Amino acid sequence: MRKFLLFAVPMVWLFAAFAAQAAEPGLTKNSIKIGIFGPLSGPASSFGEAELGIAAVYKDLNAHGGIYGRKIDIVMEDTACNPAKGIAAVKKLLSLDKVFMLHGGSCSDVVMALKPGIAKSGVPYMVATAASTSISKPLAANIFQNVPTTEAMARTEVDFAASKPGPKRVALVSQSDEWGKSGHDPAVDELKSKYHVTPVADVTFERGSIDATPQVLQLKAAKPSFIVTVLYPAPFAIFLRDAAKYGLTTPVIGSQAISIEDTAHQLRNPAEMNRVYVFYPMAAPIESKRMAKWRGIFEKYNPGVRLETSSLLGMGGAEALIAALRKAGPEPTRAKVIAALNGLHRFNTGVMANPVGFSPTDHAGAHGGAMIAYVGKKLVVIRHYAEAPK
């Protein structure tokens, strides 16, 4: 009996240890392995700054002792904003690196391609900055989105435009890709369902275009009182330049993909920025005193990388994930982390405009946002939205 016990007890302990390890890959006594992926190269690599910001938050956490004695072990993969490369990157993170959880994705089409596989894997996944509404709707039990969805963004943009006195003559300019469409359609719906009007003009302006003359002339003929755009930074800047060239002085609203500071640098006449508003999901302009902590973290771990809006945009998700890991306790499991995220209510990340929160039926965690604009040379929050229009 004693011999049996001498053999059996270590075997049971070993088996339990292996079983625990098998159940929770990526978790050791000293580390939690997190797979970060995003567009670090390719045409959308500027959006990859979000992933650099996320990694900086985890590195900063490590520098402050980690969580319950565990350090975050970061494995970084590039998707190049390409769905096929994104699938390969995440397969590697799950199969080879055996990460405990995932954080990343700044291109909606990549995240949409990954959604079925990640949902099936059950691995907790915090989306970085990809904003398509379809990511969190329909809901996947383990996928959490921490930036305002394109639907929330578009509805807020339309409400802001329609809140101005005078007739509701709103025009739309959007890209025709997945991201553009996911902002365009709710904007049209918001105008129809809430204000009972249709856009006075509805034009497309594609990524890579170098001229917006037909779009601007059509808009000029339609005489809008506000122009709502769902455009990436380059088309947005080109559109504004051509609008100025052809004397289209209507106020314009940009999406959360736009860095208003960068746009100001790209325009020839800074005065043109006084009619530009941008939907802004974060607590304050990145150069403001309020964002100094986050700016400092990003710059400390990414020396020489130019700071822009997307650099800090993913940090709110990292803070939410850290809060969930703390809540999951000293022996976290993937199920515990998912449960902890589902129980995160009105959590102030310090980065985002509003507290974030998830529930078992709602994984679109960021609500509302703000409209920012230049008043003179100063960037200010014009209006704060605690919730996006429903």
Enumerate binding residues for other proteins (CB under 8 A): 39, 41-46, 48, 176, 203-206, 208-211, 213-215, 217-218, 221, 233-234, 237-238, 245-247, 262, 265-266, 268, 305-306, 308
Q: Evaluate whether 181 touches 188 at the Cβ level (below 8 Å).
A: no
Phi-psi region of 176 (alpha: psi -120 to 50; beta: other; left: phi over 0): alpha
Q: With CA atoms as reference, report the closest residue to 146 among 256, 224, 297.
A: 256
Closest distance to other proteins from the beta carbon of 104 (Å): 16
Closest distance to other proteins from the beta carbon of 78 (Å): 12
Q: In what order do the strands lie in the sheet with 71-78?
A: 71-78, 31-38, 101-104, 125-127, 143-145
- Amino acid, res. 127: V
Is 46 or 342 the residue whose CB approaches other proteins more closely?
Answer: 46
Return the structure tokens found at 63: 């520098």
Closest distance to other proteins from the beta carbon of 267 (Å): 8
Strand partners, 280: 370
Identify the burial level of 343 via C-beta atoms within 10 angstroms of its C-beta, where 0-12 means exposed, 13-18 middle and 19 or more buried. middle
Closest distance to other proteins from the beta carbon of 343 (Å): 37
Is 211 or 287 the residue whose CB approaches other proteins more closely?
Answer: 211
- Cα–Cα distances in angstroms (integers) from residue 229 to residues 162, 216, 311, in the given order: 14, 12, 22
Closest distance to other proteins from the beta carbon of 268 (Å): 6
Is 1 or 210 the residue whose CB approaches other proteins more closely?
Answer: 210
For residues 262 and 232, give the distance between their C-alpha atoms in angstroms, rounded to a whole number: 12
Closest distance to other proteins from the beta carbon of 44 (Å): 7
Is 31 or 45 the residue whose CB approaches other proteins more closely?
Answer: 45
Is 246 or 301 the residue whose CB approaches other proteins more closely?
Answer: 246
Closest distance to other proteins from the beta carbon of 99 (Å): 26
Is 48 or 369 the residue whose CB approaches other proteins more closely?
Answer: 48
For residues 239 and 215, give the distance between their C-alpha atoms in angstroms, rounded to a whole number: 8
For residues 150 and 364, give the distance between their C-alpha atoms in angstroms, rounded to a whole number: 11
Is 31 or 209 the residue whose CB approaches other proteins more closely?
Answer: 209
For residues 256 and 259, give the distance between their C-alpha atoms in angstroms, rounded to a whole number: 8
